[in-house]
A and B are shown apart, each in its own frame.
Chain A
Amino acid sequence: MSELTLTVIRLGFLAVLWLLVLSVTSAMRADLFGVRPPKPPKQARGAARQNAKGKNGKGLPSRVVIVEGPDTGRSAPLQGAPVTFGRGDDCTLPLADEYISTQHARLRFHDGQWYVEDLGSTNGTYVGNERLTRSMPVNVKSRFRLGKTVVELRK
């Protein structure tokens, strides 16, 4: 084994050792500079683009959807006219939930903002754990509960 080869190997080993230290350090870079947030799924991006073009671009909800309860999956459009919830057939969105009053709650549009209000129901309308006593502004993704039914506003 010639002297030169050994020297090359010796320096090569040190270089490789330091390269490992550097790659370990660069693997830790994420701690310092943060991690790139995950990309939203394609469908959601498409929907977002569509919404950005549409007239509801300011972030107004365009639909109200039942997300929990016996009527899960049903929805109604929000176009400016009040939407009423209850067991009665004259409601905009008649519900089959037996803990709901005939005329239970109403979504009302006023001054560029949707409000939810209780219509004197027996079991009340809740936003979070709070029982509504007066109307409360709601936005996209807001949820409120009547009986066993949870309603969510969507774009």
Chain B
Amino acid sequence: MSLDQSRHRAESANEITVVPRRGRGTELILLIFAVGIATFAYVNVDLGALGEVPPNAMAYLGGFSAVAGVAHIVIRIRAPYADPVILPIVVTLCGLGLAMIHRLDLADDTSRATVQLTWMLVGASLFIAVLFLLRDHRVLARYPYLAGLTGLILLILPLLPVIGHSIRGAQIWIKVGGMTFQPGEAAKIVLIIAFAGFLVQTREALALAGRRFLGVDLPRPRDLGPILIVWVAGLGILTVQNDLGPSILLFGSFVLLIYIATERISWVILGLLLIAVGAYAAYRVVGHVQTRFDLWLDPFIDPTGQIAQSLFGLAYGGTLGTGLGQGHPNMIPIAESDFIGAALGEELGLAGLTAIILLYALLVSRGLRAALVMRDPFGKLLAAGLASALMLQVFVVIGGVTKLIPLSGLTTPFLSLGGSSLVMNWVLVALLIKLSDAARRPAPTEAPSYTDDATTQVVKLR
């Protein structure tokens, strides 16, 4: 196509092509809605549990509005084309989680909600920092191997003798100066950046077909290296750290990303086979996994009765729930963290829990949507990877809590008590916002100038 045609086409396309609406107004309206719901939940908890409006309700409303407002303004400045529904969903989920933690505080006479609120502020600040510091997401693609190494080191950190820290049998914390942190949550993001960067470079080789077997093009054996390495790493983490969650997240998001990058179903089949083999091996070798599996099949043999209590709670809540502050979610062990889904299910019922899961689904769909519209392959893979990780995490946790699959230790994003999870998920959302901004921004249509001296042939006459 000649330059003229391309410019011509760009010009005529300008008239037909729609400029995507920035949607900042929509975002603002939805945010006001979300802040309203967060405050409503908080007031509702006190009304239900104590029968009075909390004295600091207005302060709560003001604080939440301030956080949401600042985040919104930063998006207006740094990512004006970002997807308008991502931030409101996140604010709603944070608000619901905070209300539920406050509700458990009332029952247990603790003050974890204040801690969670502090972490939410830290998370929002990091969100703003990412939006300001990351001018172009493509810089993240530069050092995939370094990012991969960083991710692995973060995963190994909890095993180191001095800083490693074990809570409830899972060796996934580090403790520095009295503060505990779960490096696995940061590793999640770093590893997805690494996977996306790595797959952008190698996807063509990985998409090459090898032998055909049962109507499926298997990949060439020599291309199996990366998936096997991640598989072994996942199993290693599982055995050493005694925790199912991170390994599922690690391997699952890698398989999903490799499928998105190569468009070959054979990788998914291969991944599922490896998961089956790995799960069987883990079941035979790792005692923790065996316990989890047995408790899944028969929740009532558990002395702490986590899953059983969770199921009782969900059943007590029924369709419409007991109402915030009026159930007994504090009877579920660790209701503020892993089992917050069950606690919310009890007080908001099936209707409320469905709405929450739908909010997650919408969030994930916005990530995938950004991946679809995205113009550069790295951004596509990164957005799809972050969305898949979020999806997997929600599925694994809510599935475990509702006894669909064996329970594994992961936090429910944005809802669960836990600083590292909340902060890192805010960072993840900042990346998604940045990516969706890049995806929805109109493509530059500037054609090179005609009077470019390089194309002008000058013939000297004199």
Contacts and interface: CB of A to CB of B under 8 A. Distances in A.
Interface of A: 1, 6-7, 9-11, 13-14, 16-21, 23-25, 27-28, 30-31, 34-38, 40, 68-69, 99, 122-124, 126-130, 141-145, 147-148, 150
A35 B358 contact: no
B349 interface: yes
Contact of A127 (B4, B52, B324): B4
Given A16-B40, A31-B369, A141 B92 contact: no
A122 B2 CA distance: 22
A36 B18 contact: yes
Contacts of B40: 13, 16
Nearest to B16: A37
A27 B37 contact: no
A23 B369 CA distance: 18
Contact of B362 (A11, A28, A99, A145): A28
B37 A17 contact: yes
Contact of A38 (B18, B26, B352): B18
Contacts of A127: 2, 4
B451 A122 contact: no
B437 to A, nearest CB: 16
Contacts of A142: 4, 8
B21 A35 contact: yes
Contacts of B351: 14, 18
Contacts of A128: 2-6
B41 A37 contact: no
A9 B23 contact: no
Contact of B348 (A14, A141, A144): A14
Contacts of B451: 68-69, 145, 148, 150
Given A6-B48, A13-B40, A24 B88 contact: yes
A13 B324 contact: yes
15 contacts: A9-B47, A9-B48, A10-B322, A10-B323, A10-B326, A14-B320, A14-B349, A17-B352, A18-B355, A28-B365, A69-B451, A122-B459, A141-B8, A143-B7, A148-B456
A28 B366 CA distance: 9
Contact of B19 (A31, A38, A68, A129): A38
A53 to B, nearest CB: 21
A7 B323 contact: yes
B47 to A, nearest CB: 6
A124 B455 CA distance: 11
Contacts, number: 138
Given A10-B320, A18-B351, A1 B92 contact: no
B300 interface: no
B326 A35 contact: no
Nearest to B451: A148
Given A14-B349, A23-B30, A40-B15, A68 B457 contact: no
Given A21-B358, A24-B359, A142-B4, A6 B455 contact: no
A1 B48 CA distance: 8
B450 A99 contact: no
Contacts of B23: 27
Given A9-B323, A17-B37, A68-B449, A1 B47 contact: yes
Nearest to B356: A17
Given A11-B320, A128-B4, A130-B2, 20 more contacts: A6-B47, A10-B323, A14-B355, A17-B352, A20-B88, A24-B88, A37-B15, A37-B16, A38-B18, A69-B451, A99-B458, A123-B457, A123-B458, A127-B4, A128-B5, A129-B2, A141-B8, A141-B12, A145-B450, A150-B450
Which of B30, B51, B450 lies at the interface centre, i.e. has the most chain A CB atoms within 10 A of its CB?
B450
Given A24-B88, A148-B456, A30 B47 contact: no
A24 B369 CA distance: 14
A21 B308 CA distance: 30
A14 B352 contact: yes
Contact of A9 (B17, B44, B320): B44
Contacts of A1: 47-48, 51-52
B11 A141 contact: yes
B451 to A, nearest CB: 5
Contacts of B156: none
Interface in B17-46: 17-21, 23, 26, 29-30, 33-34, 36-37, 40-41, 44
Contact of B450 (A10, A18, A68, A130): A68
A8 to B, nearest CB: 10
A131 to B, nearest CB: 9
B458 A6 contact: no
Nearest to B351: A14
A20 B84 contact: no
Contact of B456 (A14, A31, A38, A123): A123
B33 A35 contact: no
B139 interface: no
A6 B456 contact: no
Contact of B326 (A6, A68, A69, A130): A6
B161 to A, nearest CB: 47
A7 B369 CA distance: 38
A19 B32 CA distance: 13
A129 B348 contact: no
A19 B29 CA distance: 13
Contacts of B320: 10-11, 14
